[in-house]
Structure 1
């Protein structure tokens, strides 16, 4: 099937098999390997992307279902090269040491951005509840939570 959608703000036309998962399309056909696949069962959250500005686990979405929609991956967050061009949530993860091995980071970032849009002044408890579907194998949750709080504050400064 031929599908057309916006990917990181740019139009994409691609032929896909009806059973192809969005995560497979992104990684295997479009070479956007920032979307990680850790479990293939929707348990770990490493594959989270934004579909029409909402976080979704791309290993649970058929690629054909994004026809006519907007998809944003972690590669689409930065506004250019260098630390000054990072999305505020990316900068917060960098500044607050929210990264360890980095495997969970793309999914954490995508989930955290959606969360911060919905919760402009979150509590630590709210962050921890939202991120329950994202697993960090390094158990670096304290710095991830700190990063999400800082990122949410930066994203919502002035609100």
Structure 2
């Protein structure tokens, strides 16, 4: 845990807490979207660079250093876990998966109460999606039946 009076960083469950000076240093990097005492959000551009360089054989630590991100401040555990998470996301969803899709960088859902019209519009959109899914499934089933009938002949 960060002790502001002593200006020291103490670890809490192996999570590094950033000092005010470290936050200031990290915030100046063009590949950093935001930094708090507990976490850091990297730019989408940095994540794409990371994946490209990593696939060319560079180690995560090297990539962070070359992009001006201080390994001493971030720590190896944070670097390795970020790299592991980004590689898994990239394998699953491609480049689009690396984009930060959080609204205003807040992972919290909107607490705004929806009006009757907004609720109705959402239900209508959901209904249309389900209808389209059903139509697609019917077409797939028809194709499969057609293939099955052709094989029997």
TM-score higher than 0.5: no
Structure having the higher Rg:
2
Which structure shows the higher helix fraction?
A: 2
Provide TM-score, normalisation by structure 1.
0.30
Structure with more contact order per residue of length (Cα contacts < 8 Å, sep ≥ 6): 1
Which structure shows the higher strand fraction?
A: 1
